[in-house]
């Protein structure tokens, strides 16, 4: 439908800005496996996955797609795909097994080997410092609701900057702190599985604080206030990845429009505004007087506002909300009329352009944007000969989202890159291996990788031989 609404001219990846970064993304616990090798410590996800009833079918990341050993093959798949960047994450318990004190050189070695292989195949190494695998020892001491964890994160980050600074081309501090805070400590759906709103918001504050301290440590080490200031000296940019939401009102009634605005408070403004020097949104805490607002100490907000170099956005779908005066927060989500993916998430490409425009305006164009994750789960199966995997739904999903991103670019949003989630099927958190997000099919029995049709489609898009 959307295609028919647009101008009939050819649209190709060449219309994205020069130097646009095409990439694929993944995260340590989801793909690495090798959880007991080379001195890796335990993380909250090892514990959570082993707790009966937490992860579907009792699946764990113990082996996953074994990228720890098979990374050369995966990097080759990336090169053949034509991407210029791989966004992976560093497993904190691999490089600092107990989350404080002693670092583990063998853990760093893995990320050096991975980066060397990426560079050898002409791909940028884009590292996320925290994609949810908190060392279990830190959780035992109270986890993210404890202020000290923020400083432990900054210490770990400084260790990574020192050891891996020559290997990494772009740093992301946190992946989706909303998930770590709210799914982990409030809703209990993710590790470590707590259910306390106050813990959730305290965790959120400490995550944001820890990354502020980490960015300050990075600036001290590189001797510049921003990556741009480094001039001829190459300093890898540092940013953050958020999963913000800018819900759409279900109708044009002013009540629903107001509800959609309120819905952005805790999911979006809480995680974005303090980074821009603005206060935490207050409406939510007024609606829930029994909930403790985050424990902010003097100087915290300034630390959180430490400038970064780019803002990463993960986008999967656009929620729809209506007014709901029966709830203290005054809104509730409703189902949309769109088709859904295997996650039950609606397919809403137009929401991506709206989201990019909203964020770009909200931050007053202060930081360039990257889509650090976008993709979908589909019920993929191999063909009977085992050689192909036809995933037309994902090809359509990607094409429509690329096109929506280009719409935003054409309207002036400074979007510099796009990372597809994910290179390969992997451990989808509490859903285990039941959801396939890869553009490469993983056969978990024999570790065979089979590129799906969407992989070939993306290859043609990147090379410019296929239209969006």
Instruction: Indicate which residues carry an active-site annotation.
Output: 176, 373
Closest contact distance (angstroms) between CB of 179 and ligand FCB is: 6
Choose the stretch contacting ligand FCB; rule: CB under 6 A; options: 4-12, 110-118, 175-183, 292-300.
175-183
Give me the 247-266 binding string for ligand FCB, x by CB under 6 A, dash otherwise: --------------------
Q: How many residues of this chain bind ligand FCB (CB under 6 A)?
A: 12
Nearer to ligand FCB, 174 or 264 (CB): 174
Closest contact distance (angstroms) between CB of 318 and ligand FCB is: 15
Q: Which residues pair with 175 in a beta bridge?
A: 241
Interface with ligand FCB includes 67 (CB under 6 A)?
A: no
Nearer to ligand FCB, 179 or 240 (CB): 179
Interface with ligand FCB includes 370 (CB under 6 A)?
A: no
Residues of span 437-456 touching ligand FCB by CB under 6 A: 437
Closest contact distance (angstroms) between CB of 165 and ligand FCB is: 24
Nearer to ligand FCB, 64 or 243 (CB): 243
CA–CA dist 280, 81 (Å, integer): 42
Q: Is the dihedral of CA 146, 215, 294, 369 positive or negative?
A: negative
Choose the stretch contacting ligand FCB; rule: CB under 6 A; options: 116-124, 173-181, 220-228, 268-276.
173-181
Interface with ligand FCB includes 133 (CB under 6 A)?
A: no
Cα dihedral 329/358/2/312 (nearest 10): -100
Give 314's Cβ-side CA count (13 Å radius).
22
CA–CA dist 343, 341 (Å, integer): 5
CA–CA dist 341, 355 (Å, integer): 19
Interface with ligand FCB includes 314 (CB under 6 A)?
A: yes
**According to CB under 6 A, which one of 48, 421, 441, 455 is a site residue for ligand FCB?**
421
CA–CA dist 171, 93 (Å, integer): 18
Interface with ligand FCB includes 429 (CB under 6 A)?
A: yes
Residue 57 CB: number of other CB atoms within 10 A? 9
Nearer to ligand FCB, 140 or 189 (CB): 189
Closest contact distance (angstroms) between CB of 18 and ligand FCB is: 28
Closest contact distance (angstroms) between CB of 91 and ligand FCB is: 13
Closest contact distance (angstroms) between CB of 273 and ligand FCB is: 21
CA–CA dist 197, 291 (Å, integer): 7
User: DSSP strand E in 296-382: where?
Assistant: 310-314, 320-323, 331-334, 369-374
Closest contact distance (angstroms) between CB of 225 and ligand FCB is: 29
Nearer to ligand FCB, 130 or 310 (CB): 130
Closest contact distance (angstroms) between CB of 127 and ligand FCB is: 15
CA–CA dist 329, 331 (Å, integer): 6
Interface with ligand FCB includes 373 (CB under 6 A)?
A: yes
Structure tokens at 154: 């900054």
Asked if 68 and 30 count as a contact pair (C-beta separation under 8 A), the reply is no
Measuring CA to CA, how many Å separate 407 from each of 350, 355, 417?
9, 12, 14
**According to CB under 6 A, which one of 84, 125, 243, 268 is a site residue for ligand FCB?**
243
Choose the stretch contacting ligand FCB; rule: CB under 6 A; options: 148-156, 171-179, 396-404, 448-456.
171-179
**According to CB under 6 A, which one of 428, 452, 458, 468 is a site residue for ligand FCB?**
428
Contacts of 114 (CB under 8 A, 6+ apart): 71, 75, 88, 125
| Of the candidates 150, 175, 172, the residue with the CA atom closest to the CA atom of residue 161 | 172
Residue 361 CB: number of other CB atoms within 10 A? 11
CA–CA dist 142, 283 (Å, integer): 28
Q: Which residues pair with 241 in a beta bridge?
A: 175, 312
Contacts of 4 (CB under 8 A, 6+ apart): none
Interface with ligand FCB includes 88 (CB under 6 A)?
A: no
Nearer to ligand FCB, 132 or 219 (CB): 132
Nearer to ligand FCB, 418 or 437 (CB): 437
Length of the chain: 468
Closest contact distance (angstroms) between CB of 197 and ligand FCB is: 21
Interface with ligand FCB includes 457 (CB under 6 A)?
A: no
H helices of 223-333, in order, are 254-264, 270-272, 283-287, 300-304
CA–CA dist 314, 125 (Å, integer): 18
Interface with ligand FCB includes 318 (CB under 6 A)?
A: no
Give me the 24-53 binding string for ligand FCB, x by CB under 6 A, dash otherwise: ---x--x-----------------------
Nearer to ligand FCB, 26 or 408 (CB): 26
Nearer to ligand FCB, 409 or 424 (CB): 424
Chain residues binding ligand FCB by CB under 6 A are 27, 30, 175-176, 179, 243, 314, 373, 421, 428-429, 437
């Amino acid at each position: 439908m959307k295609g028919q609404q647009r101008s009939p001219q050819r649209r190709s990846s060449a219309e994205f800005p020069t130097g646009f970064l095409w990439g694929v993304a993944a995260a340590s616990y989801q793909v690495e496996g090798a959880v007991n090798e080379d001195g890796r410590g335990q993380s909250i996800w090892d514990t959570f996955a082993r707790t009966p009833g937490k992860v579907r079918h009792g699946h764990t990341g113990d082996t996953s797609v074994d990228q720890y050993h098979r990374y050369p093959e995966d990097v080759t798949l990336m090169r053949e795909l034509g991407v210029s960047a791989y966004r992976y994450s560093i497993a904190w318990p691999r490089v600092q097994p107990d989350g404080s004190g002693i670092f583990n050189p063998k853990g760093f070695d893995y990320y050096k080997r991975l980066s060397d292989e990426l560079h050898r195949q002409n791909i940028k190494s884009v590292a996320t410092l925290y994609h949810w695998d908190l060392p279990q020892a830190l959780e035992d001491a109270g986890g993210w609701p404890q202020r000290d964890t923020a400083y432990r994160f900054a210490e770990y980050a400084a260790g990574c900057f020192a050891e891996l600074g020559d290997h990494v081309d772009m740093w992301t501090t946190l992946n989706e702190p909303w998930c770590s805070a709210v799914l982990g400590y409030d809703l209990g759906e993710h590790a470590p599985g707590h259910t306390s709103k106050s813990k959730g918001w305290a965790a959120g504050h400490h995550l944001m604080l820890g990354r502020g301290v980490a960015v300050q440590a990075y600036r001290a080490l590189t001797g510049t206030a921003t990556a741009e200031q480094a001039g001829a000296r190459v300093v890898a940019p540092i940013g953050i990845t958020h999963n913000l939401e800018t819900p759409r009102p279900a109708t044009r009634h002013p009540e629903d429009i107001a509800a959609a605005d309120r819905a952005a408070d805790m999911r979006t403004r809480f995680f974005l505004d303090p980074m821009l020097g603005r206060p935490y949104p207050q409406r939510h805490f007024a609606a829930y007087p029994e909930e403790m607002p985050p424990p902010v100490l003097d100087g915290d907000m300034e630390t959180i506002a430490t400038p970064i170099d780019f803002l990463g956005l993960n986008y999967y779908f656009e929620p729809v909300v209506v007014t709901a005066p029966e709830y203290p927060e005054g809104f509730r989500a409703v189902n949309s009329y769109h088709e859904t993916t295997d996650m039950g998430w609606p397919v809403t490409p137009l929401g991506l352009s709206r989201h990019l425009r909203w964020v770009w305006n909200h931050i007053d164009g202060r930081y360039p944007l990257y889509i650090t994750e976008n993709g979908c789960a589909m019920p993929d199966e191999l063909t009977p000969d085992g050689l192909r995997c036809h995933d037309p739904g994902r090809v359509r999903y990607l094409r429509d989202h690329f096109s929506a991103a280009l719409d935003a670019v054409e309207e002036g949003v400074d979007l510099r890159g796009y990372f597809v989630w994910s290179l390969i099927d992997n451990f989808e958190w509490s859903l285990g291996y039941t959801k396939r997000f890869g553009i490469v099919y993983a056969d978990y029995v024999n570790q065979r990788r089979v590129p799906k049709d969407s992989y070939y489609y993306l290859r043609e898009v990147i090379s410019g031989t296929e239209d969006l």
